[in-house]
């Protein structure tokens, strides 16, 4: 049985085709989220990648910020549940998930069976989200996927004291003008996001194992700084940005099995 998960985010569209609630047989990840053509293109790409058609799918589920505007799915599921399911599928021992996406950050705690028992969310402020990193990447003209390489070279990370993205933007520009090294600035930017999200996580009981989900998980600069901030190792999967879509495909599968 094939099930399909689509995660329509604020910045990126992700899809997963799953066979029998176990194997991932096709995926897609396209920049462009809600309100763009990316969700539609991501659906076709994942189906092509899996070598199946829409008619081969037994059930589909949509999640993510744009899930309510997507009409093609059988089920509409919250991101919290989907990240929980996706992370538990990948790391069965995981009890705490730190999800940093394009416009919010969430900390989700799971029981030993992978069921969500608590969560906290920051969706009021861009600082502490991928948005903060994307804004800084634009100013520095360094793509976010190169941030980790810069962090590795940093010996004296810059302090970013502003807690507001707009003020932090001016602060970064003035540090650039003062000749602060690019690697130190980028390490300071990654650390600023990590400390904010780390402080959010510390408001919940952080039970190991801990993993990250969402696109910012790919940034080893943030991941390492977050691990230092919470005092715990963080499990990483290259599929972390797909956890929401994996969870949606699993949700659709579980609904069929329970019928
Ligand atoms: P959303 O679901 O809100 O669209 P995602 O979980 O897909 O968000 O994450 C998007 C964020 O991930 C972007 O804001 C960007 O900062 C970050 N990101 C995406 N790819 C990478 C990468 N290769 N390296 C570092 N950061 C990345």
Domain limits of the chain? Answer: 1-91+242-259, 94-236
Per-residue DSSP letter, 159: P
C-beta of 219 in contact with ligand 1 (< 6 A)? yes
H or E element that contains 8: strand 2-8
Q: Ligand 1 centroid vs 164 CA: distance in angstroms? A: 20
Ligand 1: centre distance to CA 22 (Å):
25
Q: Name the residue with the closest Cα to ligand 1, atom 24.
A: 145
Homologous superfamily in CATH for domain 1-91+242-259: ATPase, nucleotide binding domain (3.30.420.40)
Which residue in this structure is represented by tokens 């997963």? 16
- For residue 37, the SS3 value is coil
The per-residue pLDDT for range 235-259, each reduced to its tens digit, is 999 999 999 999 999 999 999 998 7
CA of 209 to the centre of ligand 1 (A): 22
Residue 102: pLDDT band with limits 50, 70, 90:
very high
Q: How far, in Å, CA of 225 to CA of 223, rounded?
A: 6
Q: Is 64 in the pocket of ligand 1 (CB under 6 A)?
A: yes
The stretch 87-97 carries a mean pLDDT of 97
Task: Answer yes or no: same fold for 1-91+242-259 and 94-236.
Answer: yes
The CB of 239 under 6 Å from ligand 1? The reply is no
pTM given for the model: 0.96
- What are the residues whose beta carbons fall under 8 Å from the beta carbon of 246, sequence distance 6 or more? 5, 16, 18, 24, 82, 85, 86, 89, 90, 239
Q: What pLDDT shows up at residue 201?
A: 96
Q: Please check the confidence at residue 123 and state whether its pLDDT lies above 80.
A: no
**Residue 258, pLDDT score:** 83
Q: What is the pLDDT of residue 247?
A: 98
Mean pLDDT of 141-153: 98
In tens, the pLDDT along 71-90 reads 889 999 999 999 999 999 99
For the structural domain made of 94-236, what CATH number should be given? Answer: 3.30.420.40
CA of 217 to the centre of ligand 1 (A): 8
Residues 98 and 68 sit within 8 Å (Cβ to Cβ): no
Rounded to 5°, the CA angle 140-145-146 comes to: 60
| Angstrom distance (rounded) from CA 69 to CA 73 | 10
């Amino acid at each position: 049985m094939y099930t399909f998960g689509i995660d329509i985010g604020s910045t990126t569209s992700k899809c997963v085709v799953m066979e029998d609630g176990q194997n991932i047989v096709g995926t897609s990840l396209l920049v462009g989220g809600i309100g763009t053509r990316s969700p539609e293109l991501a659906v076709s790409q994942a189906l092509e990648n899996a070598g199946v058609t829409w008619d081969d799918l037994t059930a589909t589920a949509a999640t993510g910020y744009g899930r309510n505007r997507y009409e093609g799915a059988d089920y509409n599921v919250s991101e919290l549940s989907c990240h929980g399911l996706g992370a538990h599928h990948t790391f069965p021992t995981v009890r705490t998930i730190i999800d940093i996406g394009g416009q919010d950050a969430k900390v989700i705690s799971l029981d030993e069976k992978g069921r969500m028992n608590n969560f906290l969310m920051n969706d009021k402020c861009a600082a502490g989200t991928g948005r903060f990193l994307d804004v800084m990447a634009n100013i520095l003209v360094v793509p976010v996927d190169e941030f980790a390489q810069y962090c590795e070279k940093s010996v004296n990370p810059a302090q970013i004291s502003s807690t507001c993205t707009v003020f932090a933007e001016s602060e970064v520009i003035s540090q650039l003008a003062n000749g602060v090294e690019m690697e130190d600035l980028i390490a300071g930017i990654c650390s600023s996001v990590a400390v904010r999200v780390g402080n959010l996580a510390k408001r919940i009981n952080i039970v190991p194992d801990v993993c990250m989900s969402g696109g910012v998980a790919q940034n080893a600069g943030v991941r390492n700084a977050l691990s230092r901030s919470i005092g715990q190792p963080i499990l990483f999967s290259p599929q972390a940005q797909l956890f929401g879509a994996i969870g949606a495909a699993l949700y659709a599968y579980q609904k069929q099995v329970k019928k």
